[in-house]
Amino acid sequence: MAVNKKLGLTALGASLALTLAACGGEGAGSNTNTADADPSDLSIGVSMPTETSERWIADGENVESQLEEAGYTVDLQFAGDDIPTQAQQIDQMIVEGADALIVAAIDGTALSSQLQAAADQGIPVISYDRLIRETENVDFYVSFDNFRVGEAQGTALLTGLGVTDEEGNPTGVTGPFNIELFAGSLDDNNAGFFFDGAMSVIQPYIDNGTLVVKSGQTSIEQAATLRWSQETAQRRMEDLLTSSYNDGSVVNGVLSPYDGISRGIITALQNAGYGPTQDAQPRPMPAITGQDAEIASVKLIADGVQDSTIFKDTRLLAEQAVAAATAYLEEEEPEANDTETYDNGVKVVPAYLLPVETVYQDDIESVLIESEYYTAEEVAAGQSD
């Protein structure tokens, strides 16, 4: 008997609850009465998008180790940024009897048939960091405050240019400064939140002439970077330099949504004679933002090459994912702190959102090292273990 775990026993009548109890105890993958099962008999599929970015490796490992500590069996898969691979891995998890799924999607709309199969078998689905869209078969969303990430990136760009302080208060510096805008992958729901958040902060300074997007490429479609690819970002930056800065003008700032994209932008700029530090003349490295506090970028920030990043503590996100999965398996509802923002096109998905922190050079010690996210040695080497 397939029982929908998502309903929770409180939503069921007493007699049905008794029937459920009688049907339970079939072990991993039975999708019945998981509340009474021993965690070691329950298996959780964890689907991560890629191993090319350090943050997703950390996410996968954190979720896996925390689930294992709670006693669950874990099937962790990385999909190599390939949509069919991710679909096939999730199919396999379902076939092998997953009792819950935690999924960070590559393309937020590409998993509908897998999620229908999960729903048909009563398997709860937790959307991890990237909202799964256009389906009712997603139960819960754990992420960070993604609009706030964008606002923080916009403020970091203005701060890097000296136009505002770190709190976003204008300094009176009016430029004009040349900037360029990069966005993430349009199939990732987060990309729009980051870009909109950043533009909400930056747009007034474009409107008053303090900032000039010299290429004229101001829409998210023009700024987007498919699959958040470092190489794609490097090529676009090279093209922008060729098309818009061949008159002796220089780029003063670049809005970048992700550290890998920032590194592609930096490579293009270095190849064109920028940097490596603000002291270099006549082409100082522009103020460049980022996200994820990837170790290679933290080193670039320590070295004064990249200006800032946004730190998202993936250990805390893993905790929320594990708490949500555990709640469903115990036939309870996970605790949400946002039930309005994340409309996936079919329904508003209840969410637990975590706060983020901007990291400039001065914050590496207090934010990243004191929290033991990295050691001082890792920052110095630009590599984590």
The phi-psi region of residue 345 (left if phi > 0; otherwise alpha if psi is between -120 and 50; otherwise beta) is left
SS3 183: coil
DSSP string, 57-124: HHHHHHHHHHHHHTT-EEEEEE-TT-HHHHHHHHHHHHHTT-SEEEE--SSTTTTHHHHHHHHHTT--
Residue closer to ligand BGC (CB basis): 185 or 210: 185
SS3 170: strand
Report the nearest approach of ligand BGC to the CB of residue 294 (Å). Answer: 9
Residue closer to ligand BGC (CB basis): 92 or 384: 384
Residue nearest to ligand BGC according to CB distances in the complex: 258
Residue closer to ligand BGC (CB basis): 64 or 129: 129
73 strand-pairing partners: 43
Report the nearest approach of ligand BGC to the CB of residue 130 (Å). Answer: 4
Report the nearest approach of ligand BGC to the CB of residue 149 (Å). Answer: 7
Which sign, positive or negative, has the C-alpha torsion 366, 306, 258, 381? negative
Q: Is the peptide bond before 276 cis (omega within 30 degrees of 0)?
A: yes
HSE value, Cβ hemisphere, 13 Å, CA-based, for 152: 23
d(CA 112, CA 135): 6
As given in the structure block, the two tokens for residue 270 are: 């270095």
Residue closer to ligand BGC (CB basis): 41 or 292: 292
Report the nearest approach of ligand BGC to the CB of residue 52 (Å). Answer: 9
Would you give the DSSP letter of residue 211?
E
| Cβ-based neighbours of 46, under 8 Å, separated by 6 or more | 60, 63, 64, 67, 74, 75, 76, 77, 101, 102, 103
Report the nearest approach of ligand BGC to the CB of residue 251 (Å). Answer: 22
Residue closer to ligand BGC (CB basis): 122 or 184: 184
Residue closer to ligand BGC (CB basis): 139 or 188: 188
Residue closer to ligand BGC (CB basis): 5 or 55: 55
Residue closer to ligand BGC (CB basis): 5 or 312: 312
Report the nearest approach of ligand BGC to the CB of residue 59 (Å). Answer: 9
Report the nearest approach of ligand BGC to the CB of residue 105 (Å). Answer: 9
d(CA 248, CA 227): 32
Report the nearest approach of ligand BGC to the CB of residue 226 (Å). Answer: 12
Residue closer to ligand BGC (CB basis): 153 or 210: 153
Report the nearest approach of ligand BGC to the CB of residue 228 (Å). Answer: 4
Would you give the DSSP letter of residue 338?
B
177 strand-pairing partners: 211
Report the nearest approach of ligand BGC to the CB of residue 129 (Å). Answer: 5
Instruction: State the residues that interact with ligand BGC by CB under 6 A.
Output: 53, 55, 129-130, 184, 188, 190, 228, 258, 291-292, 312
Would you give the DSSP letter of residue 368?
I
Residue closer to ligand BGC (CB basis): 147 or 274: 147
As given in the structure block, the two tokens for residue 353 are: 């959102």
Neighbours of 348 (CB within 10 A): 13
d(CA 363, CA 368): 8
